[in-house]
């Protein structure tokens, strides 16, 4: 009986859960915490740059903040926040009961979480990493960077494993767990982008892991891959990093495209324009994303031929991206548009992202890039992509899927206030940075001299940051307010199109009592028009087989965390324990858990038909 498995405490329930919905919520919470942490660092950095020659932060602290801001935002905020939606929504959208490997899903979350924890511990051991989020090598070698960089290397290695296993899990889920009739060309766009983004993770996080392993060997065991004195090559690190780093942009932005492609049709009351073109544009972007990494390195001195090839390849990406932008516009064209908060975010995403794309094409021109390189123009460009693209899409997703995840809507009035404050703050902060860059302000500097024409725009930029911070506070107020006073809604509050809105309310742990039969793209909307508004079942009502929870993913991740810390201890002045003991001991914990998992048989449990019937009545 399922009731016997639920007698444990709430905390134990969440620590051991393998339910994709709970893991999605945990990703959401952890990602938000890291997002706020990195946001506060950004706020502090902007305050330091508010006036010329400020002394709010020291240069060293500024470097640590700038490194941790980038690292956390990309690896520990944006990725997990997207994973939150992928975990929660993808199995629902394809009509599955769970992901393919629920245990591995929990493992992925906990490894990511402890990897991030390890990275954050650096503050207690002499300060964070300070070589920039790219950790370019002479700067990040043992000669120039301290213990913080070891936390960077090991923390990212550990959390990278988590990302990788989760991505493989999504791939297998989408290939194998689709409901009957849900062909690949009927997948909702969010599922498609999750699929392609997971493929990118599979191919891009492996070079990252290799690069970090080489850097670790250099730093901890005196190898010489990147030491020029010993015949190493510093440019090799840049290549390896960007072979990962450029696809990483698409890993993040493609699911954001997916969210936009869900929200815009839902609130335009039209099907997505050019579905097939959208799918193939996504694939093309992913493929081209791998072939353009060297455009980050135009100024390295690769020569005119290499620069031209990579410049042209980079500009080519604008073509499939343009296809997507026009398809969103055509979806809205002639639609019956509802401008609620989710749609405000989704529709403002389109022009904002285009602005980022335009500066992207500007930066892709190799000769002109010599002027833009390492100025605030680059900072403005990638913040338009990452904040104006990914973060706006994430907020659209939050407001769109909040009723499915928590059973009530977020307050619309506060939501719209939040949107306008954030949107204005965002453009105030980053638009003027284009101008700062064109005026020649270099990036990654902790201060600047007065009366060089940089004062006004830096001041405006900082004011924008205050707006964005205020907006986040409004969002927090909204979440708390809505938890008590929010509008309680049913299973399908938006009159939406896709399968996740066909589940019962409140969402049961098995998602679908009977696997649905999919008859079209936008299956729920098809049933609303051609059927009785409910999905046809593809199987009789029967007992549902569910996996048991397990504490093993948690312990395995703790093992990896201990092991990572042990490796860092190699560079510590006076380690309390011999580092090798800690490193091997941590790995031993993980391996013992793996053996336990392999040997111990766990058949899960069954939910009887009567219990399902009782739940489905609501």
Partner 1 sequence: MADNLSQPFSKSAMTEEEKVQFQREKKQQVVAFVLMIFLTLLAFLAVAADFLPVMFVIPFILLLALVQFVLQMFYFMHLKDNDHGWANAFIWSGVFIAIPTIAALMLLLGITKY
Binding site for partner 1 (CB under 8 A): 171, 175, 199, 202-203, 231, 233, 235-236, 239, 243, 287, 290-291, 294, 302, 306, 543, 545, 603, 605-606
Cβ contact 587:157 at 8 Å: no
**Nearest 5°: CA angle at 319, between 318 and 323?**
110
Considering the complex, state which of residue 198 and residue 340 has its C-beta at the smaller distance from partner 1.
198
User: Shortest approach of partner 1 to residue 210 CB, angstroms?
Assistant: 12
User: Shortest approach of partner 1 to residue 239 CB, angstroms?
Assistant: 5
Is the torsion defined by CA of 480, 484, 487, 493 positive or negative? positive
Backbone angles phi, psi at 223, to 5 degrees: -80, 175
DSSP state string for 390-441: IIHHHHHHHHHHHHHHHSBPPPHHHHHHHHHHHHHHHHHHHHHHHHHHHTTP
User: Shortest approach of partner 1 to residue 302 CB, angstroms?
Assistant: 5
Considering the complex, state which of residue 289 and residue 437 has its C-beta at the smaller distance from partner 1.
289
Considering the complex, state which of residue 294 and residue 380 has its C-beta at the smaller distance from partner 1.
294
For tokens 């009366």, name the residue: 451
Considering the complex, state which of residue 180 and residue 274 has its C-beta at the smaller distance from partner 1.
180
User: Shortest approach of partner 1 to residue 235 CB, angstroms?
Assistant: 7
Considering the complex, state which of residue 210 and residue 596 has its C-beta at the smaller distance from partner 1.
210
CA distances, 4 to each of 7, 8, 45, 605 (Å): 6, 9, 52, 10
User: Shortest approach of partner 1 to residue 433 CB, angstroms?
Assistant: 30
User: Shortest approach of partner 1 to residue 385 CB, angstroms?
Assistant: 22
Considering the complex, state which of residue 136 and residue 448 has its C-beta at the smaller distance from partner 1.
136
Considering the complex, state which of residue 379 and residue 607 has its C-beta at the smaller distance from partner 1.
607
- What six digits make up the tokens of 439? 């005026």
Is the torsion defined by CA of 282, 287, 293, 294 positive or negative? negative
Considering the complex, state which of residue 235 and residue 489 has its C-beta at the smaller distance from partner 1.
235
User: Shortest approach of partner 1 to residue 7 CB, angstroms?
Assistant: 18
CA distances, 484 to each of 60, 407, 481, 488 (Å): 44, 12, 6, 10
Considering the complex, state which of residue 291 and residue 414 has its C-beta at the smaller distance from partner 1.
291
Beta bridge partners of 69: none
User: Shortest approach of partner 1 to residue 253 CB, angstroms?
Assistant: 18
Considering the complex, state which of residue 292 and residue 556 has its C-beta at the smaller distance from partner 1.
292
Considering the complex, state which of residue 231 and residue 529 has its C-beta at the smaller distance from partner 1.
231
The CA-based dihedral angle spanning residues 79, 82, 84, 87, taken in that order and rounded to the nearest 10 degrees: -110
Distance between CA atoms of residues 191 and 204, nearest Å:
20
User: Shortest approach of partner 1 to residue 234 CB, angstroms?
Assistant: 11
User: Shortest approach of partner 1 to residue 607 CB, angstroms?
Assistant: 10
DSSP state string for 477-524: HHHHHHHHHSPB--S-TT---SGGGGS-SS--TTS-SSPEEP-SSSHH
User: Shortest approach of partner 1 to residue 281 CB, angstroms?
Assistant: 17
| 152 CA to centre of own chain | 18
Distance between CA atoms of residues 344 and 395, nearest Å:
10
Cβ contact 360:385 at 8 Å: yes
Distance between CA atoms of residues 265 and 255, nearest Å:
16
Distance between CA atoms of residues 466 and 519, nearest Å:
49
User: Shortest approach of partner 1 to residue 310 CB, angstroms?
Assistant: 9
Considering the complex, state which of residue 539 and residue 543 has its C-beta at the smaller distance from partner 1.
543
Distance between CA atoms of residues 182 and 278, nearest Å:
18
Contacts of 326 (CB under 8 A, 6+ apart): none
Contacts of 81 (CB under 8 A, 6+ apart): 27, 28, 31, 32, 35, 394
User: Shortest approach of partner 1 to residue 204 CB, angstroms?
Assistant: 9
- What six digits make up the tokens of 164? 């990788």
**Nearest 5°: CA angle at 557, between 34 and 113?**
5
Considering the complex, state which of residue 303 and residue 532 has its C-beta at the smaller distance from partner 1.
303
Contacts of 200 (CB under 8 A, 6+ apart): 247, 250, 251, 254, 286, 289, 290
User: Shortest approach of partner 1 to residue 324 CB, angstroms?
Assistant: 21
Considering the complex, state which of residue 157 and residue 199 has its C-beta at the smaller distance from partner 1.
199
- Give the DSSP H/E element, type plus range, for residue 585: helix 579-599
Distance between CA atoms of residues 232 and 219, nearest Å:
13
User: Shortest approach of partner 1 to residue 380 CB, angstroms?
Assistant: 28
Considering the complex, state which of residue 116 and residue 207 has its C-beta at the smaller distance from partner 1.
207
């Amino acid at each position: 009986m399922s009731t016997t498995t639920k007698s444990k405490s709430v905390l134990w329930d969440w620590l051991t859960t393998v339910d994709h919905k709970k893991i999605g919520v945990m990703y959401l919470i952890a990602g938000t915490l890291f997002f706020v942490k990195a946001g506060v660092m950004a706020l502090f950095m902007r305050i330091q740059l508010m006036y010329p020659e400020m002394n709010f932060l020291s240069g060293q602290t500024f470097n640590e903040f700038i490194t941790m801001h980038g690292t956390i935002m990309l690896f520990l905020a944006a990725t997990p926040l997207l994973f939150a939606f992928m975990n929660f929504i993808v199995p629902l959208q394809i009509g599955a009961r769970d992901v393919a490997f629920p245990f591995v899903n929990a493992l992925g979350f906990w490894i990511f979480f402890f990897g991030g924890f390890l990275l954050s511990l650096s503050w207690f051991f002499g300060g964070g990493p300070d070589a920039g989020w790219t950790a370019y090598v002479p700067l990040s070698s043992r000669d120039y960077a301290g213990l913080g960089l070891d936390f960077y290397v090991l923390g990212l290695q550990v959390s990278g494993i988590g990302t990788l296993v989760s991505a493989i899990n999504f791939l297998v889920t989408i290939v194998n767990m689709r409901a009957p009739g849900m062909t690949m060309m009927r997948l909702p766009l969010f599922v498609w982008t999750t699929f392609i983004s997971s493929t990118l993770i599979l191919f891009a996080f492996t070079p990252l892991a290799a690069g970090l392993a080489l850097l670790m060997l250099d730093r901890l065991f005196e190898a010489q891959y990147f030491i020029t004195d010993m015949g190493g090559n510093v440019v090799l690190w840049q290549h390896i990093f960007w072979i990962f780093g450029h696809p990483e942009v698409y890993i993040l932005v493609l699911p954001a495209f997916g969210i936009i492609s869900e929200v815009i049709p839902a609130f335009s009351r039209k099907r997505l324009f050019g579905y097939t073109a959208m799918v193939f544009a996504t694939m093309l972007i992913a493929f081209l994303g791998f072939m353009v990494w060297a455009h980050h390195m135009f100024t390295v001195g690769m020569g005119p031929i290499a620069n031209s090839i990579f410049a042209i390849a980079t500009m080519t990406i604008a073509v499939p991206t343009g296809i997507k932008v026009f398809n969103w516009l055509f979806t809205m064209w002639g639609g019956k548009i509802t401008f609620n908060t989710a749609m405000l975010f989704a529709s403002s995403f389109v022009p904002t992202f285009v602005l980022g794309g335009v500066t992207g094409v500007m930066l892709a021109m190799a000769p002109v890039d010599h002027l833009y390189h390492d100025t605030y123009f680059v900072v403005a460009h990638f913040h338009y992509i990452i904040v104006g693209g990914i973060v706006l899409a994430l907020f659209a997703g939050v407001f769109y899927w909040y009723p499915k995840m928590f059973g009530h809507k977020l307050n619309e009035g506060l939501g719209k206030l939040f949107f306008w404050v954030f949107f204005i703050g965002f453009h105030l902060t980053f638009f003027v940075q284009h101008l700062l860059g064109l005026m020649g302000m270099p990036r990654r500097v902790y201060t600047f001299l007065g009366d060089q024409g940089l004062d006004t725009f830096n001041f405006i930029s900082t004011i924008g940051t205050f707006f964005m911070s205020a907006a986040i506070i409004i969002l927090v107020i909204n979440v708390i307010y809505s938890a008590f006073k929010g509008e309680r809604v049913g299973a399908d509050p938006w009159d939406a199109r896709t399968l996740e809105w066909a589940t019962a309310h409140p969402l049961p742990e098995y998602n679908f009592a009977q696997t649905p039969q999919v008859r079209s793209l936008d299956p729920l909307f098809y049933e609303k028009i051609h059927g009785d508004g409910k999905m046809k079942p593809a199987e009789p009502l029967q007992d549902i087989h569910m996996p048991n929870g397990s504490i093993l993913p948690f312990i395995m991740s703790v093992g990896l965390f201990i092991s990572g810390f042990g490796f860092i201890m190699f560079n510590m002045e006076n380690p309390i324990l011999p580092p090798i003991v800690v490193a091997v001991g941590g790995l031993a914990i993980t391996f013992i858990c793996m053996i336990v998992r392999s040997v111990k048989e766990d058949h899960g449990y069954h939910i009887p038909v009567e219990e399902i019937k009782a739940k489905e009545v609501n």
